[in-house]
Amino acid sequence: MSKSPRRITILTGAGISAESGLGTFRDVGGLWSRHDWRDLATPRAFARDPGFVLDFYNWRRAAVRAARPNPAHLALARLERDWPGEVTLITQNVDDLHERAGSRAVIHMHGTHLRALCAACGHRWPAPEVMAPDDPCPACAAPRSRPDVVWFGEMPYHMDRIAAALEATDLFVSIGTSGTVQPAAGFAAAARAAGARTLSLNLEPSRNAAAFDDSRFGPAAEIVPPWVEELLASG
C-alpha cells in the first residue's frame, strides 16, 4: 500500500463468522443449500407461515448466543480502536459477534435477529430467546412480532450513512461475503468509482471480484489479523 488511507470502510458477510461456527448461506452445505430462502426470508413467507419462519430464527438466535467472536472480529475491533483515522464497519450479518468482540459503531444493514420488530406499528425491542407468532407487541399489543431482519424484497437499513461512507472512503475492504446480494454487492464498485482502493479478504474469489484492486484469500480468522497489524504499522 503506497499511501496510508485515512478513512477505511469495511463490509463483512457470513464468512467472517464461519470460524465462530455459524454457517454461511451459499457455500457447499450453506443455509440456502439446505433451506429454500423463499420459505424463510421473505415477508410473504412470514405472512403465510409465521410459526415456521420464527422457528428458523429461534434456532439461528440460539446458535448465535452459543457462538464466540473469532480472531477476525477481534482484529476489526482493534482496528476501530487504534486506527488514527476513521473506520466505518458495515455488516450484512444479523449476529452480534462484532459487538461482542468490542466494535462499537457497527452498521447492521440487514438488521439483527437479537431484536424483535412489530410488523403492525414498527416498534422494536430486544428479542426473547424464543419468539412465537402470537407474542403481543409491547407498544401496540398486536400479535405481529417478527425478527428485526431485512428480508428479500425489503430495503436494507442505514443506506444514507453507507452511501456517505462509500463516497468519502480512501480504502474499501470486503470480508467474507460472496458479492451476490445487492445492494452490498455493489459497494466495492461504488467506492472505487468515488476514488477508493478496494481490497477483498475472502476464502475464494467472490462473484464481484472484478471490483477489487487487491485480494487476499484464506479463512478470515487467519488473514484478517495480519492485515490489521500491517495497516496499523503503516498508519
**Catalytic residue list:** 110
- 7: contact with ligand OAD by CB under 6 A: no
| Segment contacting ligand OAD by CB under 6 A, of 26-34, 57-65, 121-129, 160-168 | 26-34
How far, rounded to the nearest angstrom, does the alpha carbon of residue 153 sit from its chain's CA centroid?
17
Cβ burial of 175 (10 Å; 0-12, 13-18, 19+) is buried
178, 198, 200, 208: which one binds ligand OAD (CB under 6 A): 178
Q: Does 166 bind ligand OAD (CB under 6 A)?
A: no
DSSP H or E run through 97: helix 97-101
The CA distance from 136 to 118, in Å, is 9
Q: What 3-state class would DSSP assign to 116?
A: strand
Q: Which residue has the cell 425491542?
A: 125
Sole binder of ligand OAD in the list 7, 27, 78, 189 (CB under 6 A): 27
Does residue 63 bind ligand OAD (CB under 6 A)?
no
CB 88 within 8 A of CB 107: yes
- b/e code 197-211 from CB counts within 10 Å (16+ = b): bbbbbbbeebebeeb
Cβ 65 vs Cβ 21: under 8 Å: no
Which x/- pattern over 111-150 shows residues binding ligand OAD (rule: CB under 6 A)? ---------------------------------------x
Binding residue (CB under 6 A) for ligand OAD from 103, 198, 206, 208: 206
Residue number with CB closer to ligand OAD (171 or 223): 223
* Residue 200 binds to ligand OAD (criterion: CB under 6 A): no
Task: Please state the closest distance from residue 141 (CB atom) to ligand OAD, in A.
Answer: 28
Min CB(22)–ligand OAD separation in Å: 10
Instruction: Reduce the DSSP state of residue 120 to 3 states and report it.
Output: coil
**HSE of 194 in the Cβ direction (CA atoms, 13 Å)?**
18
* Residue 98 contacts ligand OAD per CB under 6 A: no
> Can residue 225 be called a binding residue for ligand OAD (CB under 6 A)?
no
Q: Which residues bind ligand OAD (CB under 6 A)?
A: 13-15, 18-19, 24-27, 30, 41, 92, 110, 150, 176-178, 180-181, 202-204, 206, 219-220
